Amino acid sequence: MGATEPDLGLPLFQAAGFVDEQLFVFYDHESRRAEPRAPWVRAAGPLWLQLSQSLKGWDHMFTLDFWTIMDNRNHSSGPHTLQVALGCEVGADNSSSGFWKYGYDGEDHLEFCPETLSWRAAEPGAWATKMEWEENAIRARQNRAYLERLCPEQLGRLLELGTGVLDRQVPPSVRVTRRVASAATTLRCQALSFYPPNVTVTWLKDRQPLEAKDVELGDLLPNGDGTYQAQVALAVPPGEEQRYACQVQHPGLEQPLAATWEPSMSGSLVFGVICGTLMSVIIVIFFTGVLFRFLRRRRASRGTLGSYVLTDRE
């Protein structure tokens, strides 16, 4: 959630929900309506009503939280932005964990601790709000109930509705290209058109993996068709390109996929096969204010059945 001075004419509250980074709902303060953005969620029925009511409630609650934090920091004018990230994750053994975090003006601010019903201040300016909120025991119990009970229940239902869409696996194609400049030669490994978004791209030299500090990691980017792409670049000595190979691991691949740069081609393109099971599902809801910038990108971890996340944009 984000909020700022009303006279700036910018949205006071916006939310966008994602399942494994796939958009499924959008909400904004002006319309006060939740709009489905994925065909499978239209059959949600009572769950959709529950989600819509939750978004309306968060619209009001997070705006009040925003003013509280501004007052406690003696910020009487803006623009300022509040980011809220809350959600839960369900493991393969049906265990669950949740989180509820606040960011203020792009910096970590407060984090709720459900085990102790307390708040952890990320910086000195958050202490006043921490002490004030910890006096509200009822709200703390409601937060914990959402993270430990309601959130996992909603996740389970959404996973059922998205069967056949959320659990699909599209293996990546891999391409290696070369760019020669006066200062250096760069090999770029691209993993293309894959789903789910959890992927591992590794550069090998003489079949041995290189350390992360030796490579340039690119962003994980969504494609318009619901798949993703990622790239990792590596500077190499001229004439030694053949000593290097790119290796890609993905749930849709039966085994790691490797590719090298071929001198006779602009790049080498290799396709994998679909197999295995979905390792994780993530649901993300973004609360948006003045600016629109992803503050965090969540990558699914192996061994995780699913996660339900409310997270932030600035």
The string of pLDDT tens digits covering residues 85-99 is 888 888 878 889 999
| Candidate from 59-63, 85-89, 206-210, 241-245 with smallest mean pLDDT | 85-89
The string of pLDDT tens digits covering residues 278-302 is 333 444 444 543 322 222 333 333 3
The string of pLDDT tens digits covering residues 110-136 is 999 999 999 999 999 999 999 999 999
CA distance 83 to 104: 6
CA distance 192 to 77: 45
CA distance 283 to 104: 22
Of the chain, the end-to-end C-alpha distance in Å amounts to 8
Residue 67: closest CA among 4, 17, 11 = 4
- Tell me the mean pLDDT in the region 168-194: 92
- For residue 297, what are the contacts with CB-CB under 8 A and spacing of at least 6? 219, 220
- DSSP secondary structure of 74-111: T--S----EEEEEEEEEETTS-EEEEEEEEETTEEEEE
Q: What domains does the chain contain, in order, with CATH numbers?
A: 2-162 (3.30.500.10), 173-260 (2.60.40.10)
Cα diameter, the chain: 69
Half-sphere exposure (Cβ direction) of 10: Cα atoms closer than 13 Å: 16
Q: What is the 3-state secondary structure (H, E, C) of 142-189?
A: HHHHHHHHHHHHHHHHHHHHCCCCCCCCECCEEEEEEEECCCCEEEEE
Query: At 60, phi and psi to the nearest 5?
Result: -75, -50
CA distance 203 to 209: 6
12: left (phi over 0), alpha (psi -120 to 50) or beta: alpha
Residue 197: closest CA among 158, 239, 251, 244 = 251
CA distance 15 to 13: 7
The string of pLDDT tens digits covering residues 138-169 is 999 999 999 999 999 998 899 899 998 888 89
Q: With a cut of 50, say whether residue 312 has pLDDT above it.
A: no
What is residue 308's predicted lDDT score, i.e. its pLDDT? Answer: 45
Distances (CA, A) of 300 to 62, 131, 167, 200, 282: 27, 34, 13, 11, 7
Lookup: tokens for 9: 């004419």
The string of pLDDT tens digits covering residues 41-91 is 988 889 999 999 999 999 989 889 998 999 999 987 768 888 888 888 888
Q: What is the chain's mean pLDDT, rounded?
A: 81
CB 257 within 8 A of CB 247: yes
Lookup: tokens for 225: 């068709």
Q: What secondary structure letter does DSSP report for 206?
A: T
Which three-class secondary structure state does DSSP give residue 231?
Answer: strand
Q: With a cut of 60, say whether residue 268 has pLDDT above it.
A: no
**Reported confidence tier of residue 306, pLDDT bands at 50, 70, 90:** low
**Reported confidence tier of residue 199, pLDDT bands at 50, 70, 90:** very high
Residue 134: closest CA among 110, 151, 150 = 110
- Tell me the mean pLDDT in the region 236-260: 94
